[in-house]
A = this chain, B = another copy of it.
């Protein structure tokens, strides 16, 4: 009975951590923050929650994926580019599917080595597409140096964070004037011309 209580308590703690993470990301979205600061903030939340060694966020530029956020190597941001046909990351973008590899990710035949990234030697790899309006607009990767079996909760969470980042990218394109003194009701019930 003690162990049952302990088990529920541990799972409760984990669920509450997940809730805090999703609520924190939601809070980023409504603040006036730069896209760069939001991505860094999300990256840090993911690293804290997943206890992972690396979190990389790639965004799409035409037919390429560009590294735009890293918990480790800010110097390489914007310079590392992948073709959509390349690597595990490219596979996730093309297939629009979550990918979980618990060990020896570097042995996967879809793997591609970049000499610039220490992450290339890491064992465990979890990757989710970043999606906006039904389209893949990037990929988020979580890596552990040592083998790590990803839990269902971790997979669910990264999927949702991938959606949230997609939303953040769309929001970055909304003009500030869209909120100031805007009529939000009109989005639902278009008023006849001159009827205001």
Residues of A within 8 A of B (CB): 1-2, 4-5, 8-9, 11-12, 15-16, 18-19, 22-23, 26-27, 29-32, 35-36, 39, 59-62, 66, 68, 77-78, 131-135, 137-138, 156, 160, 163-164, 166-167, 169-174, 176, 178-189, 196
CA distance A173 to B23 in the complex (A): 23
Complex copy number for this chain:
2
Residues of B within 8 A of A187 (CB): 35, 59, 169, 172-173
State whether A163 touches B19 (Cβ < 8 A).
no
CA distance A32 to B132 in the complex (A): 9
CB distance from A4 to the nearest CB of B (A): 5
Q: A135-B180, A170-B174, A173-B174 are in contact. Are A188 and B68 (CB under 8 A)?
A: yes
Q: A137-B184, A187-B172 are in contact. Are A29 and B167 (CB under 8 A)?
A: yes
**Nearest B residue to A59, CB-CB:** B184
Q: A68-B188, A160-B26, A184-B59 are in contact. Are A170 and B169 (CB under 8 A)?
A: no
CB distance from A131 to the nearest CB of B (A): 5
Task: From B167, B185, B188, give the contact of A60 (CB < 8 A).
Answer: B185
Residues of B within 8 A of A189 (CB): 66, 68, 77-78
Residues of B within 8 A of A31 (CB): 133-134
**Nearest B residue to A179, CB-CB:** B133
CB distance from A161 to the nearest CB of B (A): 9
Residues of B within 8 A of A178 (CB): 170, 173
State whether A30 touches B163 (Cβ < 8 A).
yes
**Nearest B residue to A31, CB-CB:** B134
CB distance from A10 to the nearest CB of B (A): 9
